[in-house]
Amino acid sequence: MPEGTLCNRRPITTEEELKALLADKGGATYYKEMEELDVDTEKLWSTLQNSCKTRTRTWLEICARCGMCADSCFLYRVNKNDPKQVPAYKIQTTLGEMIRRKGQVDNAFMRHAMDVAWSQCTCCNRCSQFCPHGIDTGVMISYMRGILFSQGFVPWEMKIGSGMHRVYKAQMDVTDEDWVDTCEWMAEENEEEWPGLEIPVDKEDADIMYTLNAREPKHYPQDVAEAAILFHLAGENWTVPTSGWEQTSLAMFAGDFSECADSVKHVYSAIERLRPKRVIGTECGHAHRATVVEGPYWAGLETGLPPVEYIHYVQWLAECLREGKIKIDPAKKIKEPVTLQDSCNYVRNHGLGRYTREIISYIAEDFREMPDIKEFNWCCGGGGGFNGIGKYRKERNVGLQWKRDQILATGAKIVIAPCHNCWDAIRDLEEEYEIGIKWTFLKPLIIEMAIIPDHLKPAEDEE
Amino acid sequence: MENLFNILTGPCLYIAMAVFTIGLIGRFVLYFLGLDWKLDRVAYKAHMGQGLKGGVHSALKWLVPFATHGWRSQPLAAIGFFLLHIGVVLVPIFLLGHNVILQQRLGFSLPTLPQGVADALTILSLVGLAIMLLRRLLLPNVRILTTGQDYFLIVLVLIPLVTGFLAVQGFGDYKALMLCHIISGEVLLVLAPFTKLSHIALYFASRMQIGMDYAIKRGGRTRESGAFFPW
């Protein structure tokens, strides 16, 4: 069969298409159509020839097939050392095979490749640290997701996610108007407790422009308020853009790299418009990866750097605590044992592990590291889009076991997870396995513990 | 017979060594020419100095036994790997017998290993090769990856090692062993650039690339160890 009405090779471009896809509960019709979707083998082969070049081809060719990547993969480990979960096997039998067959593959092959790309790899890149040849299977799986996306073999939620970005310039249906309303609402809601609290919108030449994750205004507007309170406490001159505020990129998880470019350019255009001294992104891992680490390349910047200094929330927070812009009340430090989840996207892949640890040194009395830390820490179990795909929920829940056991080994009661994906995965693992832990972002913890200077406190009685 | 040996250690040797050297250098150079900052998403040119630091560090650190998390996490593989590679790199280059031919043919030679050391390294190489073969045969996670080429290459490396060793030790028919040793050795040299043996050069290329990637894009500016990823 040629392309289906829902499952096809065309990305979502209109709100109607998006709504039609959303109306297909659980993607039942979508996946049925996928079983019939033809592979455009000619296009597949030409795409591979144009984009699969020296680095990737050499990786596939010189793989020593030594299996040293096996133990580095949590999905291999939690699936009882299933040899089919060895990273090298996963990529050689999918992308490697696609190339060896010069794109002559069928529907069943592509659906299998989709299962591998989205349910057997979270693109955490840990295996790249254990391969003697420095082969990064996570990078190749991510590349293959792009190939699969272009052929229409992409999980339902991922197609929706990429469509959201294309239609709303956000990962959820939050329009710029909704966003500005939320800012006003949150400022009003909290100004009694925090006199003078503002969420300055579109202020030019501020010291800081703040960008975030659409689910914060959509589902946790309190998070937006918390960010405002902390900037207020630290006395920062900051702003948020009316447009270009959404930092995340489900398009990256989906393999929709053309939308990745559009999304990041949209954020960068807000930077150009408002000329902030620097930009700070929220407590999210993949958002940082998408706008700060990979983003400059999608936007075509030869320096490989964002247009201005663009830092992660934990870098800013560490700086505030270090410089005393925000002071912690020693009596309020966390007494319970605490552990920390390192987000692959900004710790392994951007070296920020020292900032989270610095923050914890100011706020926790009993900090316990997990067995493998910083660059060598393990994926939360739900990264790379794994959390959000209903079709692979069972596999994801098995995947969570590795993090569960790591947390149990620390004896910690609180897991600090300054990343939306990690936070979700840890919430879900508590729900699934009930190990009696709490999980949290940093913002609410810091507000709870900060010393509030008198001039920022609400007046006792009005004059 | 004398003639055959002269041809094998003369023109054939030159051709084999030329294919080996030019082939591997060619692959190494083509690798770097083929890198693409946009496709790889690594700003190689913009941060060349930082990249080279990370790249060279990444290639060298993995050459030190047990220096990396990777080697420490797989001690058996590490032992097999280093036993094999130390021997197969050092012995062919610094063996007295090889250098005699070099002197005769090309008028120069390299320092040589005492024969006892060369023998010991050869035996250790064979032990290493056996460990790597056993991993392939016995471990399900390695067996599933193994292809015909992997076994073929093990045999290709094994033949010159064993025949050379036996000939030197005086086992069997010296002339037949030497003939086999020279031919298999030259076949190995010729095939190296076109098989996975190309890792002789491409190991350095690929390891440098991942080192540059982590140094330039993935945290080299923010990590406490700077350009040097803590492999």
pLDDT tens per residue, range B3-58: 998 999 999 999 999 999 999 999 999 999 999 999 999 999 999 999 999 999 99
Residue A454 lies in a domain: no
Q: Provide the number of structural domains found in chain B.
A: 1
Contact across the interface for B74 and A351, Cβ inside 8 Å: no
This prediction's pTM: 0.96
Mapped onto helix, strand or coil, the DSSP state of residue A438 is strand
A216, A223 Cβ separation under 8 angstroms:
yes
CA A266 to the chain's CA centroid: 18
Q: Provide the number of structural domains found in chain A.
A: 3
A131: closest CA of chain B, how far (Å): 7
Residue A14 lies in a domain: no
Mean pLDDT, residues A51-69 taken together: 97
Query: Given A319, A339, A372, which residue is the final one in a domain?
Result: A319
Residue B221 lies in a domain: no
Residue A342 lies in a domain: yes
Residue B202 lies in a domain: yes
What confidence score (pLDDT) does residue B1 get? 72
Contact across the interface for A65 and B145, Cβ inside 8 Å: yes
A55, B209 Cβ separation under 8 angstroms:
yes
Mean pLDDT, residues A73-96 taken together: 98
From the list A54, A132, A298, the residue facing B35 with the nearest CB is A54
Residue A383 and residue A287 in one domain: no
User: Distance (Å, rounded) from C-alpha B231 to C-alpha B71?
Assistant: 10
Give residue B136's pLDDT band: very low, low, confident or very high (50, 70, 90): very high
Dihedral sign for Cα atoms in the order A33, A34, A39, A44:
positive
Whether B35 has its CB under 8 Å from any CB of chain A: the answer is yes
Tokens of A288: 């940082």
Express as a percent the part of chain A with pLDDT over 90.
98
What confidence score (pLDDT) does residue B106 get? 87
Residue A119 and residue A228 in one domain: no
Residue that has been written with the tokens 């430090």 in this structure: A333
Residue B100 lies in a domain: yes
Mean pLDDT, residues B202-209 taken together: 98
Q: Is the pLDDT of residue B133 over 50?
A: yes
Residue A200 and residue A314 in one domain: yes
From the list B74, B145, B207, the residue facing A88 with the nearest CB is B145
Residue A226 lies in a domain: yes
Dihedral sign for Cα atoms in the order B109, B113, B114, B120:
negative
Residue A119 and residue A251 in one domain: no
Structural domain containing residue A250: 168-319
In the stretch 79-98 of chain B, residues with CB closer than 8 A to chain A read: 81
Mean pLDDT, residues A325-339 taken together: 97
Q: Is the pLDDT of residue A289 over 80?
A: yes
Mean pLDDT, residues A334-358 taken together: 98
Residue B104 lies in a domain: yes
Q: Check which CATH number belongs to the domain holding B101 and give it.
A: 1.20.950
Contact across the interface for A375 and B222, Cβ inside 8 Å: no
Q: Is the pLDDT of residue B143 over 50?
A: yes
Residue B136 lies in a domain: yes
Query: How confident is the model over A439-460, as pLDDT tens digits?
Result: 999 999 999 999 999 999 988 6
A53: closest CA of chain B, how far (Å): 7
Mean pLDDT, residues A178-183 taken together: 97
Query: Given A319, A350, A377, which residue is the final one in a domain?
Result: A319
What confidence score (pLDDT) does residue A463 get? 46
Residue A344 lies in a domain: yes
Query: How confident is the model over A232-280, as pLDDT tens digits?
Result: 999 999 999 999 999 999 999 999 999 999 999 999 999 999 999 999 9
Residue A142 and residue A190 in one domain: no
Residue A442 lies in a domain: yes
Mean pLDDT, residues A374-383 taken together: 97
Query: Given A304, A319, A334, which residue is the final one in a domain?
Result: A319
Residue A205 and residue A298 in one domain: yes
What confidence score (pLDDT) does residue A1 get? 58
Q: Check which CATH number belongs to the domain holding A78 and give it.
A: 1.10.1060
Mean pLDDT, residues B112-137 taken together: 97
Q: Is the pLDDT of residue A462 over 60?
A: no
Q: Is the pLDDT of residue A461 over 80?
A: no
Name the closest residue on chain B to residue A88, using Cα atoms: B145
Express as a percent the part of chain B with pLDDT over 90.
96
Contact across the interface for A302 and B45, Cβ inside 8 Å: yes
Residue A163 lies in a domain: no
Angle, nearest 10°, between helix axes B48-61 and B199-216? 130
A462: closest CA of chain B, how far (Å): 48
Query: How confident is the model over A197-213, as pLDDT tens digits?
Result: 999 999 999 999 999 99
Residue B11 lies in a domain: yes
CA B76 to the chain's CA centroid: 19
ipTM of this predicted complex? 0.96
Three-state SS sequence of A81-119: CCHHHCHHHHHHHHHHHHHHCCCCCCHHHHHHHHHHHHH
Which stretch of DSSP H or E encloses residue A373?
Answer: none
Residue A178 and residue A292 in one domain: yes
Residue A117 and residue A237 in one domain: no
φ, ψ dihedrals at A179, nearest 5° = -65, -50
Residue A389 and residue A268 in one domain: no
Residue A456 lies in a domain: no
What confidence score (pLDDT) does residue A198 get? 95
Residue A173 and residue A141 in one domain: no
Structural domain containing residue B129: 2-216
Residue A436 and residue A353 in one domain: yes
A50: closest CA of chain B, how far (Å): 10
* Least confident window among A98-102, A327-331, B4-8, B135-139: B4-8
Q: What does the DSSP 8-state code read for residue A458?
A: P
Q: Is the pLDDT of residue A298 over 90?
A: yes
From the list B41, B69, B143, the residue facing A130 with the nearest CB is B69
Residue B224 lies in a domain: no
Query: How confident is the model over B161-203, as pLDDT tens digits?
Result: 999 999 999 999 999 999 999 999 999 999 999 999 999 999 9
Residue A117 and residue A240 in one domain: no
CA A71 vs CA A76, A100, A130, B94: distances in Å:
7, 27, 9, 37
